[in-house]
Structure 1
Amino acid sequence: MRILMWHVHGSWTTAFVQGGHDYLLPTTPDRGPDGLGRARTWDWPDSVVEVAPETLARTPVDLVVLQRPHELDLARRWLGRRPGRDVPAVYVEHNTPAGAVPDTPHPLAGQGEIPIVHVTGFNELMWDCAGARTTVIEHGIVDPGHRYTGELGRAAVVVNDPVRRGRFVGTDLIPAVAAACGVDVFGMRVAQLPAVPGVATYEDLPQEAMHAELARRRVYVHLSRWTSLGLSLLEAMHLGMPVVALGTTEAPFAVPPAAGVVTTRRSELVDAVRHFIDSPADARSAGEAAREHALAHYGLKRFLADWDALLAGVAGVAGVAGS
């Protein structure tokens, strides 16, 4: 099947493009948000092909994967076809609603042409889709392998845009964790963080290098209050890291008790981090449980099988033959 999609969420796309399809990514000269093209810091297969928007009208496309509301208009203009009518389409909702929860209407609420695919059950529950067809396909991860050493008695945090996103991603909690131990923050635009004693930042590392560095830290800390389930949390679990997470959104269902600590109390969050820093044996044991759970519940094989079943159904209903 030839699938048109935009490069929006690098970690999710890395898993999605491991399937047996051809993936067409619009690419503009400036490589802006609507034409980012292939990833520079993830390893993607050759089946991911960059295409110029002006060529799409004469490019065979079997299905469109939408991830942002304005992509409906981009697809109409660039393809010359209407997603959900002239070409099969699905809409992937990566995020929790940011409005008046739980009454926030989804951008595709109420329509019957394009199914909405949520990446967590929590997201599906909280968005008001007003009768639109919805389904949940939970995340899958390309297994980075068991790499945990925990040799550095520091905590690791992965977050993008921590200054802009603020309390949503728990930026305000970083100093409290840093007071208990050193914290290394990885991600995009993390260098914008104000200087805090004990906090170091590592910006825009390639995924392979970031995984190697994360695995050297003693514990992974997930501070997000109100975002969808972070793929970095699942990657840390695959690496064999113990995790300490806020008990919000999908995290309580993703992290079993043996894999770490999930809490909504600040004091327990800090105490749990301190415990793993001071107890390497407990940290290693929790990390092994985290990896076992992640492989069983967030493996790539299940993820791709779920997606293939959905895509075949959507394309089949519209009479489109996969390739």
Structure 2
Amino acid sequence: MRILLWHVHGSWTTAFVQGPHTYVVPVTPGRGPDGLGRARTFDWPDSVIEVPPEQLRETDVDVVILQRPHEADLAEQWLGRRPGRDVPAVYLEHNAPHGQVPDTRHPAIGLSGVTLCHVTHFNRLMWDNGDLPATVIEHGIVDPGSRFTGELPHAAVVVNEPVRRGRTTGTDLLPQFADAAPLDVFGMGTEGLAGHLGLPPGRCRSHELAQRDLHTAMAQRRVYVHPVRWTSLGLSLLEAMHLGMPVVALATTEATEAVPEGAGVVSTRIDVLTDAVRDFIADPLYARTTGERARTAALARYGLSRFLDDWERLLKEVTR
């Protein structure tokens, strides 16, 4: 099967392209948002091929994966075929709704013949999906392996653009976590975060690493902190669990489903969460045993084989 999709979400796509198909990814000369092409910091197989927009009309495509509202029109323009009418299509929703939640109508409403697929049950619950057939395929992770050492008595946080995104990513909560342990914040747009928060550099350090180096660096920290208020389900949280890290997370969106009892601490109370960070920092053995349970839980629910099997069933259903 030849699947057309845009490179929108690097971590999710890295798991998706591990399947048995050929993955056609548009590429434009400037590698802008509609033509990023192959990932440069993730490990993608040779089955992911780059195709310029002007060649797509001559390219065999069996199904289109839409991920943004404008992609249906873009696919029709580039392919010469309308997704859902002339070629089978799935609209994959990565995000929780914004705006007037829970009355936000999904942008795929009105796309005839398109199946809507959410990445979490929380998302399907909170979006107004209209009459669209809506399903859920939970995330899958390419297992980075059990790497936890916890040698550094610090807390790891992974978030992109924390200054711009502010309360959405829980940036305002970081000073309270920094009181419990030194923070190492990984992600794009984290430079100058300590100054923005009024924290001394020793309590909050920013790091922007390539994906190939990120997992090793995360696993050297003793605990993973997930301060995000409103997101679909941060894949960094699942990656931390796969690494064998104990996790501390806000009990919002899908986090309560992702982190079972014994795999970490999940709460809406900041005092409970900061106390948990202190406990993990103070007791390396407690951190390790909790992280082992987190890894076991993540492999069972968010393993790659289950994810690919679920997608195989959906793709066969929409293309038959």
The answer, yes or no, to whether TM exceeds 0.5 is yes
Which residue number in structure 2 is paired with residue 200 of structure 1?
205
Q: Distance in 1 between matches of 2:292 and 2:40?
A: 31
Q: Does 1:81 align with 2:85?
A: no
**Of residues 254, 259, 270 in structure 1, which corresponds to 2:258?**
254
- Displacement after TM superposition at 1:208 (Å): 2.1
Distance 1:110 1:55, change over 3 A: closer
Q: Does 1:229 align with 2:233?
A: yes
- Listed as ranges, the matches of 1:1-323 within 5 Å are 1-109=1-109, 111-195=111-195, 196-197=199-200, 198-203=203-208, 205-316=209-320
Q: Could you state the TM-score of these two structures normalised by the residue count of structure 1?
A: 0.96
Q: Is the 8 A contact 1:118 1:135 kept in 2?
A: yes
> Quick one: percent identity of the two aligned structures?
66
- Displacement after TM superposition at 1:57 (Å): 1.0
Q: Which amino acid letter does the alignment assign opposite residue 128 of structure 1?
A: D
Q: Distance in 1 between matches of 2:212 and 2:240?
A: 12
Q: Distance in 2 between matches of 1:192 and 1:313?
A: 48
Q: Distance in 1 between matches of 2:112 and 2:265?
A: 41
Report the 3-state secondary structure (helix = DSSP H, G, I; strand = E; otherwise coil) of the residue aligned with 2:191. Answer: helix
Q: Distance in 2 between matches of 1:194 and 1:145?
A: 31
Report the 3-state secondary structure (helix = DSSP H, G, I; strand = E; otherwise coil) of the residue aligned with 2:287. Answer: helix
- Displacement after TM superposition at 1:207 (Å): 1.7
- Displacement after TM superposition at 1:296 (Å): 0.5
Q: Distance in 2 between matches of 1:46 and 1:191?
A: 34
Q: Distance in 2 between matches of 1:194 and 1:181?
A: 14
- Displacement after TM superposition at 1:267 (Å): 1.0
Report the 3-state secondary structure (helix = DSSP H, G, I; strand = E; otherwise coil) of the residue aligned with 1:45. Answer: coil
| Residues paired across the two proteins, number | 315
- Displacement after TM superposition at 1:190 (Å): 1.3
Q: Which amino acid letter does the alignment assign opposite residue 141 of structure 1?
A: I
Structure 2: give runs of 5+ residues left out of the alignment.
none
Q: Could you state the TM-score of these two structures normalised by the residue count of structure 2?
A: 0.97
Q: Distance in 1 between matches of 2:175 and 2:314?
A: 43
Q: Is the 8 A contact 1:110 1:129 kept in 2?
A: no
Report the 3-state secondary structure (helix = DSSP H, G, I; strand = E; otherwise coil) of the residue aligned with 1:258. Answer: coil
Q: Which runs of 4+ in 1 moved over 6 A?
A: none
Q: Which amino acid letter does the alignment assign opposite residue 16 of structure 2?
A: F
